[in-house]
Chains A and B, each alone.
Chain A
Amino acid sequence: MTTEDHTRNANTAATAGDGALLRLEDVHKRFGRLEVLRGVNLQVPRGTVTCVIGPSGSGKSTLLRCVNLLEPPNRGRIIFEGEEITTAKGNDIDRVRRRLGMVFQSFNLFPHKTALENVTMAPAKVLGRDPEECRAKGEALLARVGLADKLDEYPDRLSGGQQQRVAIARALAMDPHLMLFDEVTSALDPELVKEVLDVMRELAAEGMTMVVVTHEMNFAREVADEVVFMDGGVVVEQGPPREVLDNPSHERTKRFLGLVLEH
């Protein structure tokens, strides 16, 4: 306990004043012999949108999964709201995750629950909020993502785009301080992508802090405050979208963008 408290205080002191909601320092992640992250440094200031781009296997999804501790990093520190979360254990991990919303590529809605129940489950069970309050909030959130008429539908009756919007509402129901999006449109039919990105655009406009792993370059260009290009488990280049996307300085970034944007 004492060591933990000590570390926490040290971190608070270290991060005071720099304004970053999330800070990654030299984060490493290995799966067996495969080193997926080889020392990632990143800062995400409050109220900003960071889009992480890069080829498959570059470690971008692993990076997100490290941030909410689904994959514990092997080395390095992750500091969220001034607190080092990489050393968290048990209940502390659950408490950190309540402040982190995560949306997955494969939606992962709970198939045995209706859209509304998907949204209300965590606030009701985890935070022990009043069911009526949860319900009202769930309805409001689903209305916000354009699904006011789908409250009682089960996920298998919804299109992919609708399911993903329910998943976003589900994450928002916990009032997260940071939203993580892991290639949330990659499993969608092309015509369903826009409805999901529109919801994300609105969220960004409302000032939500977001880290978005994406292949949607136009979305990144339009919404991101910061674009991070990853390759081979490291951040190769980062900066405002106009620099990274339109005028990349690294050869690897140029090559990747050339491949992605040419068709």
Chain B
Amino acid sequence: MDFILDYYFDGGVVSENIDTLLKGFWFTLKLAVLSGVLSLLWGLVLAVLRQLPGKLFLPIRILVIAYIDVFRGIPMLLVLLLVSGGLSTLSAPIGGEVLPRWLGVPEWLGQPSPFWYGVISITITYGAYMAEVYRAGIEAVPRGQMEAARSLGMSHGMAMRHVIVPQAVRKVIPPLLNDFIALMKDTSLVSFLGLAEVVQVGFDIQTAEFNGSGLVFGALLFLVVTIPLARLVDWLIRREQRRTQRGAGPEPDDEDAIPPAPPATGMAGA
């Protein structure tokens, strides 16, 4: 029993390594927040491109659908390896230096290149997931909203920007947050490239000291962020349900309720 407790819950091991562990988690947080924001934006761009109307934009719609199908369908680790390997090789002499070095081995804002390979790969992958979430939101906005906006002389783009997307985003905040939780956990894959994020640090400790407490501590750090987020999602969903249920059917003395169309009659206008 003591062996088990010592292996997983050795406070001494954690406190010895607390600096590297927290530094690792700081990497995790930076990676998650930056990739999260970029994925949200990229996903929205993809979703909006997918909704472009008319024959003219058919090629764009097909490209977007193909993109989403591909990157939702393959493991992110694979994307990560292709991105990191590709960028670094293509900017090196062996790859013909097709790409400039600042792009092939990015070290922007003082962050190491594995960090940026991670940001790029996560954004590529989660952008595809989030595009689908946005699409569900956009398609859930009643058709009459687009018609009303267009009838006022708004272009398709204006209507999307001012009428459709704001309503769609409101509807999909809970599923987007769910995706963010998944995204945050997937940042650990960047350890494959040797980035000292929290899982990598914990694993190094485990390898060096034959003790898993660093990893358990890392798990706790994840939960400190993800559990409140999960509760926030629950709360948002409940709030949305209350709202839609209130509008769904007539309640006694509820002036807001819209009744079904009455039969045609000449009386009411009298």
Q: A residues near B, CB below 8 A? A: 68, 70, 91, 94-95, 97-98, 100-102, 104-106, 108-112, 121-122, 125-126, 156-160, 167, 170-171, 174, 185-190, 193-194, 197, 215-219, 222, 260-261, 263
In the complex, the answer to whether A215 meets B265 with C-beta atoms within 8 Å is yes
In the complex, the answer to whether B144 meets A104 with C-beta atoms within 8 Å is yes
Residues from chain A with Cβ under 8 Å of B265 in the complex: 215, 260, 263
In the complex, the answer to whether B255 meets A170 with C-beta atoms within 8 Å is no
Q: Contact partner of A106 among B144, B153, B255, CB < 8 A?
A: B144
Chain B 142-162 interface 0/1 with A at a Cβ cutoff of 8 Å (1 = within): 101101111111110010001
Knowing A125-B158, A159-B255, A187-B258, say if A97 contacts B152 (CB, 8 Å).
yes
Of the candidate stretches B6-14, B22-30, B107-115, B163-171, the one touching chain A is: B163-171
Residues from chain A with Cβ under 8 Å of B145 in the complex: 108, 110
B78 within 8 A of A: no
Knowing A126-B158, A260-B265, A260-B266, say if A104 contacts B147 (CB, 8 Å).
yes
Q: B residues near A, CB below 8 A? A: 142, 144-145, 147-155, 158, 162-163, 166-167, 170, 247, 255-256, 258-259, 261-262, 264-270
Cα distance A179–B235 when bound, in Å? 44
Residues from chain A with Cβ under 8 Å of B262 in the complex: 186, 188-190
Residues from chain A with Cβ under 8 Å of B268 in the complex: 185, 190, 193-194, 197, 216, 218
In the complex, the answer to whether B269 meets A216 with C-beta atoms within 8 Å is yes
In the complex, the answer to whether A170 meets B152 with C-beta atoms within 8 Å is yes
Cα distance A167–B153 when bound, in Å? 15
Question: Which applies to chain B's interface (DSSP): helix, strand, loop or mixed?
Answer: loop
- Name the residue on B nearest A124 (C-beta): B162
Residues from chain B with Cβ under 8 Å of A68 in the complex: 151
When A and B form their complex, which 4 residue pairs have the shortest distance between CB atoms, in order from nearest?
A217-B266, A98-B153, A108-B148, A216-B269
Residues from chain A with Cβ under 8 Å of B158 in the complex: 125-126
In the complex, the answer to whether A112 meets B153 with C-beta atoms within 8 Å is no
27 A-B contacts (beta carbon < 8 Å): A70-B151, A91-B155, A94-B150, A94-B155, A97-B151, A97-B153, A98-B153, A104-B148, A106-B144, A108-B145, A110-B145, A110-B149, A112-B166, A122-B152, A125-B162, A156-B256, A157-B256, A174-B153, A185-B269, A187-B261, A188-B259, A189-B262, A190-B268, A194-B268, A215-B265, A216-B268, A218-B269
Cα distance A158–B255 when bound, in Å? 8
A142 CB → nearest B CB, Å: 16
